[in-house]
């Protein structure tokens, strides 16, 4: 397989072939995921919860993200590697540029930031310097304290319009990818259709260009109650590699997510 690039994702959007993404935090599982065809590997700050045992992503540091990005970048894979900017590394454009620079030097091919239209100037500055940006909208876990919990976003018409407008503004500012977490299926489809860049969803329904899940969740390694949008691909497969292949197949054939995974 040729290395997956931003151009690959744009092509997949253009031709209507969905692509699959998973979080990855270490070289071994990143290699297996890549071998199973997963197009994008995200070093998510979800590692604060699934690896470090914290109750939220807020304690994750830039050094933690750099360490795990280096681990994943050593994987034998042609997948596109995306890394999260952790909580409060976006207080100024300069700070964000410096933090993103370190993640790129650790081996990321693009960075992801949580936020809305207020990030536009920073997105432009990153893009101008050759750092492709994904903006994570909807349920943004770094804002869990402001949101009052992990809940669906954009449920009323006013919030939905605001999210749609923010996505357009960020695309205009240079965002290369938009990721929507926990938004109603219909809104995710509207945002996707209003944009030209690829849209990745998690708990956002099937009408987007790519899907992502936290690796531990799709392997059935969830402690506590799994979110509604998760499917346990280990349950019917029995090996990690087979579960990755089943997920890739389900995403590319649009059999995941199905209605029970949607809002």
Minimal distance, residue 141 CB to ligand KIV, in Å = 7
Please say which residue, 62 or 246, places its beta carbon nearer to Na ion: 62
The rounded distance, in Å, linking the Cα atoms of 76 and 78 is 7
Q: Which residues contact 92 (CB under 8 A, 6 or more apart)?
A: none
C-beta of residue 195 within 8 angstroms of C-beta of residue 178: yes
39 is in an annotated binding site: no
Residue 230 as a binder of ligand KIV (CB under 6 A): the answer is: no
H or E stretch at 80: strand 80-84
Q: How far is the CB of 214 from Na ion (least distance, A)?
A: 9
- Decide: is 140 part of the binding site for ligand KIV (CB under 6 A): no
| Residue 45 annotated in ligand binding | yes
Q: Indicate which of Na ion, ligand KIV, none lies near residue 110 (CB less than 5 to 8 Å, by partner kind).
A: none
DSSP 30: H
What is the Cα–Cα distance from 107 to 86, expressed in whole angstroms? 16
Letters for 5-44 (x = contact with ligand KIV by CB under 6 A, - = none) are ------------------x------------------x-x
CA of residue 109 relative to chain centroid, distance: 13
DSSP H helical ranges for the chain: 6-15, 27-35, 47-50, 62-73, 93-105, 120-128, 144-147, 157-173, 185-194, 215-218, 240-252
CB of 194 to ligand KIV, least distance (A): 21
- In this structure, the number of other CB atoms found within 10 A of the CB of residue 222 comes to 15
Write the binding mask 61 to 100 for Na ion: x where contact by CB under 5 A, - elsewhere.
-----------------------x----------------
Our answer to whether residue 181 is catalytic in this structure is: yes
Quick check: 116 binds Na ion (CB under 5 A)?
no
Task: Tell me which residue of 248, 261, 260 sits closest to 17, measured CA to CA.
Answer: 248
Catalytic residue among 181, 196, 249, 260: 181
Q: Does the footprint of ligand KIV cover residue 212 (CB under 6 A)? A: yes
Contact 129, 174 (CB under 8 A): no
Q: Which residues line the annotated binding site for Mg(2+)?
A: 45, 84, 114
Binding residues for ligand KIV, rule: CB under 6 A, are 23, 42, 44-46, 84, 136, 179, 181, 202, 212, 214
Q: Which residues line the annotated binding site for 3-methyl-2-oxobutanoate?
A: 45-46, 84, 112
């Amino acid at each position: 397989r040729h290395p997956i690039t931003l151009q690959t994702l744009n092509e997949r959007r253009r031709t209507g072939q969905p692509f699959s993404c998973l979080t990855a935090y270490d070289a071994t599982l990143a290699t297996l995921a890549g071998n199973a065809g997963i197009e994008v590997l995200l070093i998510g700050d979800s590692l604060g919860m699934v690896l470090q045992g914290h109750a939220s992503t807020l304690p994750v540091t830039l050094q933690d993200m750099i360490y795990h990005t280096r681990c994943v970048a050593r994987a034998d894979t042609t997948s596109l590697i995306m890394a999260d900017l952790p909580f409060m590394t976006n207080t100024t454009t300069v700070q964000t540029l410096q933090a993103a620079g370190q993640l790129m030097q650790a081996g990321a091919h693009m960075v992801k930031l949580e936020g809305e239209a207020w990030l536009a100037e920073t997105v432009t500055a990153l893009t101008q310097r050759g750092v492709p940006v994904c903006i994570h909208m909807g349920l943004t876990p770094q804002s869990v304290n402001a949101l009052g919990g992990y809940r669906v976003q954009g449920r009323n018409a006013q919030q939905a319009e605001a999210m749609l407008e923010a996505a357009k503004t960020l695309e205009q500012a240079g965002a290369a990818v938009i990721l929507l977490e926990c938004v109603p299926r219909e809104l995710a489809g509207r945002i996707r259709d209003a944009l030209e860049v690829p849209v990745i969803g998690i708990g956002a329904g099937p009408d987007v260009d790519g899907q992502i899940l936290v690796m531990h969740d799709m392997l059935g390694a969830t402690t506590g109650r799994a979110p509604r949008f998760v499917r346990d691909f280990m349950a019917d497969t029995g090996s990690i590699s087979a579960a990755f292949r089943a997920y890739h197949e389900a995403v590319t054939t649009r059999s995941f997510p199905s209605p029970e995974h949607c809002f």
